[in-house]
Amino acid sequence: MIGELIDGPLWYIASGTFLLGVVWRLFSILRVGVAQDFAPPKGNGPAGAVRTVFSRFLPRHPVVTRGRLQLIAGYMFHLGLFALLFFARPHVDFIAERITGTEWAVLPHWGFIIASEIAFAGLIMLWLHRLLHPVTRLLSSADDYIGTVLVFLVMLTGCLALAQSFEPLRLLHLFLAELLLIYFPFSNLMHAFTFIISRGYTGATMARKGVNA
């Protein structure tokens, strides 16, 4: 009964909420628009936007020296999670069956395991940094902790269900993933999409002013 609910209606509710929520959040940000800049532009705004979106993947010197740990842990977590989410065999099978209808290249099992190790190490490090660093502790809200805990639990239950022999473990993993999908659009986890807008806006504004952002 609960299994059918998790596998059926709750999955559709969660994915629908995620999709509509993300679209709504992005639309509300874009709808605000940008105040018109009457000054003659000193550079190409759109080019600056595109450049900044990509150039910010490379950290600047002060970040490398003073934020080395967050930088390494951040990349470990995000790359590991990306590989897990889109290139792990069980996920590709699930997405192909329920959404895309087609499969793509997957990681070998050992690659999947290494990606999980990297993602877990990065996430735990970032979580501890948030808790232990006096500045990030002050800056963090309940939203940050809920997001982190949810992502951690989804990853953990996924790892516990790796044997793929017990239906309750798979359902627990799916249930937590559904909770995460519902929570996602209304939280700071939206940075997965909004980082492009944020970097693009900064890059375009600075390029118009002739500043190297």
Residue bearing tokens 């759109």 = 46
**43 φ, ψ to 5°?**
-155, 175
Report the first-to-last Cα separation within the chain, whole angstroms.
Answer: 55
Residues that bind another protein (CB under 8 A): 66-70, 113, 116-117, 120-121, 124-125, 128-129, 132-135, 156, 159-163, 165-166, 168-169
Do 196 and 54 form a contact (C-beta atoms < 8 A)? Answer: no
Nearer to another protein, 1 or 132 (CB): 132
Query: Toward another protein, which CB reaches closer, 146 or 159?
Result: 159
d(CA 67, CA 61): 10
CB of 166 to another protein, least distance (A): 5
| DSSP 8-state class, residue 60 | P
- CB of residue 131 to another protein, shortest distance in Å: 8
Q: Which is nearer to another protein, 60 or 66 (CB)?
A: 66
> Residue 33 — φ and ψ, nearest 5°?
70, -175
DSSP annotation of 59: P
Of 53 and 119, the one with the shorter C-beta distance to another protein is 119
C-alpha torsion sign, points 190, 192, 196, 199? positive
Q: Which is nearer to another protein, 124 or 190 (CB)?
A: 124
| Closest C-alpha to 18, from 199, 202, 193 | 193
Closest CA to 87 of 77, 74, 76, 96: 96
| Cβ-based nearer residue to another protein, 75 or 193 | 75
C-beta of 48: minimal distance to another protein in Å?
A: 31
Closest distance to another protein from the beta carbon of 114 (Å): 9
Shortest Å, Cβ 68 to another protein:
6
Output the smallest distance, CB 107 to another protein, in A. 15
